[in-house]
Amino acid sequence: MNQQHNPSASLPMRALSEIPQSKPNARRITALQKKSGRITGYQLSDGLVVDKREGVRLAKDGEIAGVGISTRNGSEYLKSLPDQTEDNNLGSLPTVH
Residue of 21, 4, 37, 35 whose CA lies nearest to 81: 21
**Residue 72 domain flag:** yes
Residue 41 CA to residue 14 CA, distance in Å, equals 24
Q: Whole-model pTM?
A: 0.81
What's the confidence (pLDDT) of residue 2? 43
Count of structural domains, the chain: 1
Domain span including residue 86: 7-96
Using DSSP's 3-state secondary structure scheme, residue 78 falls into strand
Bin 66: left if φ > 0, else alpha if -120 < ψ < 50, else beta: left
- pLDDT of 8 > 90? The answer is no
**Residue 79 domain flag:** yes
What's the confidence (pLDDT) of residue 34? 95
User: Who has greater pLDDT, 10 or 32?
Assistant: 32
**Residue 22 domain flag:** yes
**Residue 2 domain flag:** no
DSSP state of 5: T
**Residue 1 domain flag:** no
Label residue 13 by pLDDT band (50, 70, 90).
Answer: low
Residue-wise pLDDT for 23-80, tens only, equals: 999 999 999 999 999 999 999 999 999 999 999 999 999 999 999 999 989 999 999 9
Bin 35: left if φ > 0, else alpha if -120 < ψ < 50, else beta: beta
**Residue 28 domain flag:** yes
